[in-house]
Structure formats: C-alpha cells, structure tokens
Structure 1
C-alpha cells in the first residue's frame, strides 16, 4: 500500500481494481481507516478503479499537529486524485468523508462526476459538543469516548451481536491528535451555502438508528442539491457500510448504473 506526500502530508492509500475502469473514491468517517469499506467492495460491479485512503491523523497517514481545517482535508483529497491522474470520479463519503466530498465537489467539479453522501450533512453538531470531544480525546484518550461512539455508529441489533469489537479497536488505534484535529475541522465547517450551489447527480443515504447524523439532518443536506435522491436504510446506525455492506453496495451499484458511471 503506497504512501505519498500530498499537500505537505504523507497519505496512505490504495489504488485497486481496473486501472482503466470508472474511478470511485471512498472517503472515511472520523475514527476509521480505509478498511471501513472492506466488506462493501466484493459486492460492487467489476472493472471499477477503487481508490481509498486514510485521512490525515488516521491509520497509516501522517498526524500533523491539531487543529485541522476542512480546507486542508479537501486539498489532500484533491491532491490524491491529481496525483493519480483521476477525473470524473464518483465520490462516496460517509460522515466526515461526506463533508470532504462536498467540499471537493464545490472546489473541483472537474474531478467529480457524482456524489454519494452517506450519514453526513453540510453542518454537523454544535461547537461546544466538538470542543468537549476534543478535550476528552486529548486528555483521556479515545477509549473514554468509545462507548458513546459505538452507540451512535451502530444499531441496537448490531451492538447485540458483539461485532463492534473490531471497530472499537480501530477507533482506539486512532491517534488522539489526529482525531482531535479532524473534530476541529468538522466544528469549523458549514457547507449549507456552497453545497446548495452544486449541480450533479447525488445520492443521499441515512440510517434509521443513526445517533450522529439523524435521517432528517441528512435529508436536509441532500435536498440542497436539485435532482438529488434520498434513501433511508432501516435498522442501521451511522455506518451502514459496516452493518449492511451488501445492501449498501447495491445502492451504490444501482446509482452507478443510473448515472452511467458503469
């Protein structure tokens, strides 16, 4: 898995599948790595070019000093696509990744063919909430936050299976500096006006039990983009790509066909 310096930050990424295929860039949630998408990929159409990466402060990417600005996260996604000579990509972003996808589409529409915005919004949370989370991450570490995060990430059914251990470990492995830095980026972002100016095919996905970005919040953002479509996945939380990867992949596949991406 290569690592390259982009926008002054060393980013860890994977570029897989058909090099000549339709490109899809996956953008991760706060506290996760590129492995967030592992269970989705086998269910996608063949002959896609699949690009994933760890955002700064996460996984194998560099951890610059916090705080981070959303502009820096957008620039790094932009730089990765430019580095790989990719244009007309489908962006699939969940949570924080969905915010970065919105920002990239606003800034560089030449790079973006369509958007899938999953469990995200133009603005997420209030500043005090993010300040409190940043303080806890930096003083007590991620384990102090993980019970509350698991409750937002996953439905009651999924939590009852005990399958959250892997995801809790992924969260705990996130550097507190990187987590806090990305929290600051979310805190400082309000994309309501820029996103309302977008004109491109967009699919919104929400989870009925999402405790971080409830369905009404996701729908409000998706409705900013004329011609967009909104889908509610039942009995899933903030990370439907983890809880129901085949169903999530089916939504992506149908959208790719509808938009002519495949």
Structure 2
C-alpha cells in the first residue's frame, strides 16, 4: 500500500495490536503507550490517508475506504487476527473493521469516539470544514486543541499542548478537510450489534466531541462490551491520563 505509511514499533509474545490515531494527528500520538508495551506484544502503527506520512490518494475520502486501508494493513502484516485500538477517527475505523471484516479482529478498544453524530454536530463539522477551506488550519487550531485537551491540562502541560498544536498545524488543509468529511459521515450505530469480539469502550468525562453519552450508546449496542470513563480527561486520555489509559488497555488485553 504505497499511499499508507505503517511501522511495527514493538514485538513480543502477546496478541498483535494495531493502533489507529485521532483526526489531525498521526501514529506518533501512540508512542508513549507503545513504549509501555515494548517487549510484551507486536504493535503496528500507521497514519490515515492524508495525515502524517500517508498520502491522501483517492478522493473523495470516506470511512469505507479508511476501513479498507485498515483491512489491507492487517492482511499484509500477516499477524492477524489483531486487537485493534482506535481513538477518535481511529475508533470509527475500528468499528467499521469489526463490522466489515470480523475475521481480522480479535478484540477492540474504542476510545473517545462515536458511532454517529447528531444533526447539531453535523452543522459544527460543516462550519469547521468551511473555515479550513477559507482560512486554513491555523484558523481552527485553537478550537481543536481546546477539544482535545482539558483546560487544566493545557495550563499545566504547556509543552505537550504546544507539541499537539504544532502537529495539527502541520496538516495539509485539503487532506484535513477530506478526513473531516469522512469523520462527519460516520454511521455505524445500527450495525454495532454485528460486533461479537471482546470490546473495551473508553471515554473522557470532559470530552465535548466524543461525549460519555456517545460512548454509552456504543457500549449499549455491543454485547458484552466494557465501558470505562476517565473522570479528568477530555479527548486524548493517552496524553492526559497515560497511566490510567495504559492500565485500562493492559487489563483488557490480559483478558483476551
């Protein structure tokens, strides 16, 4: 897959894991978590189309194509079925992978994500897309960083916040818009009942974009899933609450 950048960053005897990142970021958002897992399990990280080191390629972009990319990666890696860990946009890809390609998925972690957006959120996505098209990524970097990280964390961790802002600003505006359009159209809710693999759903109590109620809706539809809500996290718990995120995911992996 010449368009998609991927890299194996860990190996070990445990179940193979693929990690899928949030909108506007790339595989590097997982590096701290991967460091905590090194030597325990094989981990493959990759960048979605038009983000990080992956080319945008085919347009228009939709979640079905992103799911197809993920399926191809898993097949090409030849380590499946895998535990697929997705956050935000990555969680939407994870849902689609388990629905469309269940034989490739041994378990799911759906972090800070949703299966569908309400009409009001659709309007907000349209506004964000229009702003980026007209004024570029810089016009929305404050909005994104405020949604991704809680106010207290931003105040207490300026270096992490600055690094996040720099990563967002590095996005190509055209590619970011294409990914926004894919994310805004997510609609897996009615198909979640098809997911039969063990599933952990994670949410942040302070998350305005992927709210605890959205996580509850996913949890309700996936039989046997587990739900955990981080009280002091917004959208990026691997950054805000790394120890809690590591513990929750490791405990889940240990049950598989």
Query: Shared fold by TM > 0.5?
Result: yes
Q: For residues 149-195 of structure 1, give each alpha carbon's deviation from its aligned partner in whole angstroms, at most 9, with x where no partner exists.
A: 11111112211121300000000101111111111112222101111
Aligned partner (choices 251, 254, 262) of residue 251 of structure 2: 254
- Return the structure number with greater relative CO, CA threshold 8 A, min gap 6: 1
**Residue 237 of structure 2: aligned partner:** 240
* 2:125 aligned with 1:130: yes
**Residue 209 of structure 2: aligned partner:** 212
Number of aligned residue pairs: give it.
Answer: 252
- TM-score, normalised via structure 2 length: 0.94
Q: Following TM superposition, by how much is the alpha carbon of 1:65 offset from its aligned partner in structure 2, in angstroms?
A: 6.2
**Structure richer in strand, relative to its length:** 1
**Structure richer in helix, relative to its length:** 2
Q: Which portions of structure 1, spanning 4 or more consecutive aligned residues, are displaced by more than 6 angstroms? A: none
Q: Following TM superposition, by how much is the alpha carbon of 1:64 offset from its aligned partner in structure 2, in angstroms?
A: 3.0
**Residue 61 of structure 1: aligned partner:** 54
* 2:159 aligned with 1:166: no
**Residue 91 of structure 1: aligned partner:** 84
Q: 1:20, 1:111 → 2: CA distance?
A: 19
Q: 2:99, 2:227 → 1: CA distance?
A: 20
Unaligned runs of 5+ in 2: none
* Secondary structure class of the residue paired with 1:64: coil
* 2:52 aligned with 1:29: no
Q: Following TM superposition, by how much is the alpha carbon of 1:66 offset from its aligned partner in structure 2, in angstroms?
A: 4.8
Q: For residues 56-115 of structure 1, give each alpha carbon's deviation from its aligned partner in whole angstroms, at most 9, with x where no partner exists.
A: 010110023653111110000111111111312001100110000000011111110011
User: Which segment is superposed worse, 232-241 or 155-164?
Assistant: 155-164
Unaligned runs of 5+ in 1: none
